[in-house]
Structure 1
Amino acid sequence: MQEIELKFLVPESRLKGLMRQAKVKSSQVTQLAAHYYDTPDQQLAQAGIGLRIRKEGETWVQTIKAGGDGLAARLEHNAVLDNEQVQDMLDNNELMPDLTIYKDTSIATALADFKLKKLAKQLTRLYVTDVQRTTRSLIEDDNDDPNNCLEVAYDYGEIIHGTDDSQREAIQEIEFELVSGDLDFLFLTAKTWCKRYKLCLSTVTKAERGGLLINGRDHSPAVSANLSQLQVSKDSSMPAFVRAAVHNCLLQILPNSSAIVAGSTEVEHVLQLHTGIKRLLAALKAFADFSDEINPDWLPILQQTAVLLDDYRQLAHVVSHVEPLLQTYGAPTVDWATDIDAIKVTPIDAVRANDFQLTLLELIAFAMSDPSIEPKADHLAHDKLEKILSKEYEKCFESDNEPDESSDAELDSDDITDDDNQAEYRLSNHLTDLLYISEFSASLLRKKKTKKKTTRWLKRLKKAQIALEQHSADSRYQQCYELKSATDAHALYGAGWFTATLEHDYDPTAKHLAKFRDSSIFW
């Protein structure tokens, strides 16, 4: 069967109020003791599969979870086990899952890449969880649709290392699982609780957290864009296409935002979340007419979050990458601690903001909703994409965007004006938007005979975009060090270094832009 649930982390400040809603007369409290299994090298985890045996009250249940849409839906199979057999295995320290039960089930496809007999011999218990679960049912008070029902489950406990019980991690989260009825009821309820208790979405499963514990990591690695997961076809309708694009962006956004709300300060999580939001903004703006369900209120919230993340990301990149680089060239150390501390809104503040969390919920609901019931469901996306791409392409070559290429000599830094920087910034944004839109659209527009042409054009666009983005970033770093030099003379080295870098890299950047401009479009 398919499990559809939303998981949230609970802020300590809101816990008492939330528990008053979770612990009502009809609620149930169950102690859950779960044993999680994988191979020593975690082959199941790498395939996105979680396998456990859990005691639920007085019943032992073997559960496997796999696949799904990466947002809120996963395949799940539960099998009730014989209590006496389980107890015998526990007494002899031989409790192991039975993989033969999956042979003719819906979960079999998820295990198709494994030889089950060989896998069974490799399985070992990696970690356990000890959780107290408080559950209650919520049924929509609607005579028109009395079947809308979901389960609210608050989990409190810990994950324990399978071979070293001194290694533990606390669990404090709440889940909303759709039992029956419409997705709308799930999302409306989750939004109400999210708004009231300032909940934060998390895509990190207990299995994933257990894997992190045994590997000695606090958070999973940052997730970058993966266009191989973009589910579009030549006959995709306009509503289906824009949902697929949003879905693909969320697959990048949600894991990184989940890590940040859980406390990650890694620059790569911030970078990939920022990139995911920029991709999402490009898609929502370019394909705004593809669906009547797109909410224009999403844009300002996403834009504000992207700006806040970028302010922190740039300074954090200076500390983590630029400073060590400069010091390899003999630069004196510049202390940026006070500058970091002066940032009023940190990534965790930006991502935990209720408006952003509610927007994420609405975007997930949109991506999972049925595109076939929309008025434009019979309009093919393919028919509109050429016009959209052409319009975005033309923005890249407006006269006020282009840097001055009239001289073959190195550009003097004194010639770089604020107007030049603004034009460069606009061009960088246009190229970035064009790249994202083109990547979403390429599989629908390219033909077999023009596949190489499309690949070559995208490659040249990406090179131009990366070169100009780096040039713009170096310009900002130069300004950053120049401003810092007013209070720390050591920063003068960095200001001078980036001034020289900008002069040296101007011509190569202009050549990448010219090469892209001279390439014929693929649509």
Structure 2
Amino acid sequence: MQEIELKFLVPELRLKGLMRQAKVKSSQVTQMAAHYYDTPDQQLAQAGIGLRIRREGNTWVQTIKAGGDGIAARLEHNLTLDNEQVQAMLDNNDLMPDLSTYKDTTIAPALAAFKLKKLAKKLTRLYVTDVERTTRLLIEAGSNEIDVSDNSIEVAYDHGEIIHGGDDTQRDAIQEIEFELVSGDLDFLFATAKVWCKRYKLCLSTVTKAERGGLLIKGQHHSPATSANLSELNINKDSSMPAFLRAIVHNCLLQILPNSSAIVSSSTDHEHVLQLYIGICRLRTALSAFASFSDEVNPDWLLIIKQTATLLSDYYDLSYLATHIEPMLQKHGAPMVDWTADVEAIKTTPIDAVSANDFQLTLLELIAFTMSDPSLEPQADKIALDHLTKTLSKQQAKFLKTEERLNDVINAKPDSLDSTSTNSTSTNSKNLSLKNNDKYQAQQQLHYQLNNLRYMGELAAPLYGKKKTKRWLKRVVKAQKSLGKQVDMTYYQQCYQHKALTDLNALYGVGWFAAILKDDSKRLQKQLDRIEDCATFW
């Protein structure tokens, strides 16, 4: 069975209003105690599998979840257990799941990497959950007596705790709401979730109770940041244009959602912010470059994700400077420069940007887009591969044109001075300053175009031969990283230069980055030239 559900964290300020909608006359309240199992080194968790035995009211159920699309859909197998047998095992403190039941089920492929008898011997109870679940059923009424709809959703609000299996003083609070499609169309699920999300400022979370339990065992609050994983990009040479776009948006969301989930649950880890930003940039590139591949792309998506990316970048750059760059300079003998006030002056933090309602609603619409049927679109008969050459060539041309502009700025001489000028030194200094600013802006624009070229190339690569794509991508990635470093170093230099107007200690940083930039420029130019010399793979 495939479970399709959307889970959200509930902000404290909206809880009372939400509970008025969750606890209606028809709702049910169930006490649930669940025992979660894994090997001591969490082999099941590493394979994306959750295994539990849970008391649901008066019934005990053994459940395993695995696989799915990594976002809203997962494979699930439930087995109702004999209450007397369970109680007997509880009395002897030897309650354990029966893995033999999965031999000939739809969940079997997810366990194929394990020898079930060997795995069963290693299983241990790692943690338990104690949850009060409030559920109600939402049913979409038919428009008339003839057209009777069977669209229904279970809304479940969970409140409780995850408890360490070996130390019950270690606990983590649960306060979340889930929307699970019971029957009918996906559109009803997403339309309902959007209404609740907008009304109660809910935030999407892909972190399961099993994952949170595993983190509790490790003494961690959040999973490590998730980077792009192109091996999970499910496309082939026969993919239609609409199917291709859905697949690459889905791949971007696999990077975005885990990192955004960590941030809305209060992670301040720089890596979560960085990987979320990169994921959004990849998504922005995909939607912009391949918008014509589908009639269902909403133009508003680009506006909202661009705004979110800008907010994340503004915070990350300055915060990283304060927490990483400044300590690095001090280790090399630089006098201290205090950036506290500058960071605090940033009005929008990552959690503000990510929990913003328009961004959360956009994520919901994007998930719905990836799960919709591409075969229903007018362009379903058009193969993506037939239309990629023009799109990729266009981006390559943009990159080369922007590189030419950068070279023009670098090679330009400062304006010649009037021989009668009485302030020639001041004028020349101003001209050089303007030239440096033009150079930085041209570098930023080139980095943006190179990012787009890389992301488009990586997303299209599975449709082409590996040998050509590998060589081309290697050169593009190398140049992109080097140019990104140079843009960052220039930004830091400008920050220290501006800071030096009020704090002379910042002059050390100005000189430090000037030296680094001088050393890297020639190597970067060689890497850019190698892209131009390399044959494209399309």
Give the structure-2-normalised TM-score: 0.94
State which of 338, 341, 347 in structure 1 corresponds to 2:341. Answer: 338
Question: Structure 1 stretch 23-32 or stretch 473-482: which is displaced more?
Answer: 473-482
The corresponding residue for 2:376 is 373
Deviation at 1:330, TM superposition (A): 1.1
State whether residues 410 and 439 of structure 2, in contact with CA within 8 Å, keep that contact through their aligned partners in structure 1.
Answer: no
Q: Percent identity?
A: 69
8 Å Cα contact 2:409/2:435 also seen in 1:
no
The AA in structure 2 aligned to 1:229 is E
Aligned partner of residue 65 in structure 2, secondary structure: strand
Instruction: State whether residues 413 and 499 of structure 1, in contact with CA within 8 Å, keep that contact through their aligned partners in structure 2.
Output: no
CA distance in 1, matches of 2:338, 2:177: 41
Secondary structure of the corresponding residue to residue 71 of structure 1 = coil
Partner of 1:215: 218
More deviation, 498-507/49-58: 498-507
Q: Does 1:148 align with 2:151?
A: yes
Unaligned runs of 5+ residues in structure 1 are none
Counterpart for residue 44 of structure 1: 44
Partner of 1:347: 350
Structure 1 residues 484 and 415 mapped into 2: Cα distance closer, same or farther (>3 Å)? closer
Q: 2:287 aligns with which of 284, 287, 294?
A: 284
Q: In structure 1, what is the equivalent of residue 129 of structure 2?
A: 129
Equivalent runs, 1:272-421 vs 2, <5 Å:
272-398=275-401, 399-402=404-407, 416-421=435-440
Question: Counterparts of 1:108 and 1:519 in 2: how far apart (Å)?
Answer: 46
For each residue in 1:275-325, what CA deviation from the matched residue of structure 2 results, as whole angstroms up to 9, or x when unmatched?
000000000000000000000010110000000000011012212321232
Shift of 1:52: 0.3
2:188 aligns to what?
185
The amino acid of 1:35's aligned partner reads H
Q: Partners of 1:254 and 1:402 in 2: how far apart?
A: 39
Amino acid at match of 2:445: R
**Rounded Cα–Cα distance in structure 1 between residues aligned with 2:63 and 2:186:** 24
Distance between the aligned counterparts of 2:19 and 2:266, measured in 1? 23
Q: Does structure 1 conserve the Cα–Cα contact (< 8 Å) formed by 2:409 and 2:438?
A: no
Q: What is the Cα deviation at residue 256 of structure 1?
A: 0.1
User: Residues 413, 36 of structure 1: CA spacing in aligned structure 2 closer, same or farther, 3 A cutoff?
Assistant: farther
Aligned twin of 2:507: 492
Partner of 1:261: 264
Query: Of the two, which has the highest radius of gyration?
Result: 2
Deviations 1:369-399 (A, max 9, x none): 1100000000000011000000000001113
Distance 1:431 1:235 in 2: 28
> Is the CA contact 1:405–1:510 (under 8 Å) kept in the aligned structure 2?
no
Partner residue in 1 for 2:138: 138
Shift in CA distance, 403/257, structure 1 to aligned 2, threshold 3 Å: farther
1:273/1:145 Cα in 2 relative to 1: closer, same or farther (>3 Å)?
farther
Q: Who is 1:242 aligned against? A: 245
Selected match of 2:201 from 184, 198, 221: 198
Identify which range, 368-377 or 486-495, moves more after superposition: 486-495
Aligned partners of 2:115, 2:310: CA distance in 1, in Å? 48
CA contact (8 A) 2:155 2:180 kept: yes
Is the CA contact (8 Å cut-off) linking 1:131 and 1:158 kept in structure 2?
A: yes
Residue 97 of structure 1 aligns with which residue?
A: 97
| Alignment correspondent of 2:428 | none
Q: Residues 220-267 of structure 1: CA distance to partner in whole angstroms, max 9, x if unpaired?
A: 000000000000000000000000000000000000000000000000
What are the ranges of 5 or more consecutive residues in structure 2 without an aligned counterpart? 413-430
Cα offset, 1:404, TM superposition: 5.6
On the 8 A contact 1:133/1:154 being kept in 2, the answer is yes
How far, CA to CA, are the matches of 1:401 and 1:505 in structure 2?
16
Distance 1:145 1:513, change over 3 A: farther
| Equivalent position amino acid for 2:279 in 1 | G
* Residues 127 and 210, structure 1, Cα contact 8 Å, conserved in 2: yes
* 1:408-487 matches, cutoff 5 A: 416-444=435-463, 446-447=464-465, 451-487=466-502
Tell me by how many angstroms 1:478 deviates. 0.5
AA at the equivalent of 1:317: Y
| Contact 2:240 2:382 (8 Å CA) reproduced | yes
In the alignment, what sits opposite 2:416? Answer: none
Q: Counterparts of 2:477 and 2:409 in 1: how far apart (Å)? A: 21
Per-residue deviation, residues 344-370 of structure 1 (Å, max 9, x unmatched): 000000000000000000000001111
Paired residues for 1:103-122 under 5 Å: 103-122=103-122
- Aligned-residue offset at 1:406: 5.6
Q: What per-residue deviation string (whole Å, max 9, x for no partner) do you get for residues 481-505 of structure 1?
A: 1112223222211111111111111
The residue type equivalent to 1:13 in the other structure is: L
1:467-490 per-residue CA deviation (whole Å, 9 max, x = no partner) reads 111111111010111112223222
2-side partners of 1:460 and 1:517: how far apart?
Answer: 10
Contact between 1:126 and 1:214, CA under 8 Å: does it hold in 2?
yes
Aligned residues: 515
Give me the whole-angstrom Cα distance separating, in 2, the residues matched to 1:334 and 1:456: 43
Following superposition, the deviation at residue 327 of structure 1 comes to: 2.1
CA-atom RMSD, angstroms?
A: 1.4
